[in-house]
Amino acid sequence: MTAIAVTIAGSDSGGGAGIQADLKTFSALGVYGASVLTALTAQNTLGVTAIADVEPDFITAQMEAVFSDLRVNAVKIGMLSKTGVIEAVAAGLDRYAITQTVLDPVMVATSGDRLIDENAVAHLRRYLFPRALLITPNLLEAAALTHEPVARTQEDMLKQGQTLLGQGAKAVLMKGGHGTTAECIDLLITPDGHDVFSAPRIATQNTHGTGCTLSSAITAGLAKGLPLRDAVHAAKLYLTGALQAANQLQIGRGHGPVHHFYAIWI
């Protein structure tokens, strides 16, 4: 059977993040990708200039169209900027009994632009933390969700991840991409303990869409039947390769994208 993953997220008109990055990642990893758009952004490598939210009723219609026809193995959730959107997505997950879900709590773009309404953060905790197999905050997002300073050590990351478990998350991947150490360290934290995933930090400004790419790569692994830890490990390797090859691309004048197809393009 063909592995199928769905991304429920916003569109990036510049193609480096959001729905576009997710679908590229699914394809690069041998998974068929479908999509449910939650927002449109006018965006490029320099930043976000406008956001248009998709109405909750139309999000519901997209989910019904996709899930009633496709045998979906895993779902990645990205940009959900409004409370009504979050409620619509949660209801759709329940309607179709979707359990293999990765929630990337997208709050701020690489450019620094805020992508979520303040009121929506509490809704993420209430409606989607309990429904997600994994949440994948970066250090800035984890700090905002836990009302703590940005983590600077592994101990800080572990503490904040455990706090997020206490807020209802089933498992947390604390992403260390915003750290400053020579190694980029991610922590997978579950009620049973934690695992450390480390890779050399890559010197490149082409980092647009790294969070989307990692979470969608994990989703692709889950769609292919990998256990969670194995899916995280495989996704970390894929993103590291995409970052190492990122300078082969010359896209835009700001933070360019990672190279999703580094193993395919010659």
Looking at the domain assignment, is residue 144 inside a domain? Answer: yes
CATH number of the domain residue 87 falls in: 3.40.1190.20
Residue 175 designated active-site: yes
Rounded-to-10 torsion of CA 148, 151, 153, 154: 90
Helix (H) or strand (E) holding 11: strand 4-12
Could you tell me the residue range of the domain that residue 203 belongs to? Answer: 4-248
Looking at the domain assignment, is residue 167 inside a domain? Answer: yes
Structural contact between residues 74 and 222, judged by C-beta atoms closer than 8 angstroms: yes
Looking at the domain assignment, is residue 256 inside a domain? Answer: no
From the candidates 101, 175, 177, 221, which is the catalytic residue? 175
pLDDT at 109: 57
Looking at the domain assignment, is residue 257 inside a domain? Answer: no
Count of the separate structural domains present in the chain: 1
Looking at the domain assignment, is residue 200 inside a domain? Answer: yes
Report field, pTM of the whole predicted structure over 0.85: yes
Residues 108-166: pLDDT tens digits?
655 555 566 677 888 999 999 999 999 999 999 999 899 999 999 999 999 999 999 99
From the candidates 38, 207, 213, 219, which is the catalytic residue? 207
Q: What is the C-alpha to C-alpha distance for residues 57 and 147, in angstroms, rounded to an integer?
A: 32
Residue 209 designated active-site: yes
Residue 207 designated active-site: yes
Q: Could you tell me which of 135, 130, 136, 161 has the C-alpha nearest to residue 148? A: 161
pLDDT at 118: 72
Looking at the domain assignment, is residue 263 inside a domain? Answer: no
Q: What is the C-alpha to C-alpha distance for residues 166 and 52, in angstroms, rounded to an integer?
A: 33
pLDDT at 183: 85
Amino acid at 233: H
Looking at the domain assignment, is residue 10 inside a domain? Answer: yes
Looking at the domain assignment, is residue 211 inside a domain? Answer: yes
Q: In the predicted model, what is the mean pLDDT of the chain?
A: 93
From the candidates 25, 83, 110, 210, which is the catalytic residue? 210
